[in-house]
Chain A
Amino acid sequence: GAVVSQHPSRVICKSGTSVKIECRSLDFQATTMFWYRQFPKQSLMLMATSNEGSKATYEQGVEKDKFLINHASLTLSTLTVTSAHPEDSSFYICSARVQGSSYEQYFGPGTRLTVT
């Protein structure tokens, strides 16, 4: 149980375009999902907390107008990287917390974004 999927797994886009990444909890409901970014040789950095039916909470230094998050249902959250630039190239990972659990999170397989 507790499977999280992400789509796409890998995307290459041109500078200035927007990219949407989907995160789905497949066999459970997730009122809260999290979006992380990981640069090479670095650890995961939390970007934002996505709550179903309400606005996302962004971490300090993360531009909410650049990284649009939508959590419209209990099984789907999306992250849109708008006007992507090469410095946005990274590994984006989502996670979902099982409703009522003690902070345990299950991670999606990640999306590797390359902006050329």
Chain B
Amino acid sequence: NAGVTQTPKFQVLKTGQSMTLQCAQDMNHEYMSWYRQDPGMGLRLIHYSVGAGITDQGEVPNGYNVSRSTTEDFPLRLLSAAPSQTSVYFCASAGHPNDYEQYFGPGTRLTVT
């Protein structure tokens, strides 16, 4: 059981470039989510999904897209990177809706120059 995996661990982008952060889980969890963590700001929800084919916006969705074609995978796309998107990104998954214990991945540290 690998849990929640994220790739890459580190990434440097130039302003305007696009990229996809990958997230996968092998626990058959229905709920998956993406967060960004900035110093002093805590974790902020970007997008989430309650099952394959269903996605919705969190607190800070602008500049990010997601899709959920399978239960296992939940990629996060940055279409045109901006310096304000420099952050640490965490993916998480959770199982039963009444008891959403979230399992987090190890994070991706993204720098946009």
Partners in one complex: no
Q: Which A residues contact B (CB, under 8 angstroms)?
A: none
Q: Which B residues contact A (CB, under 8 angstroms)?
A: none
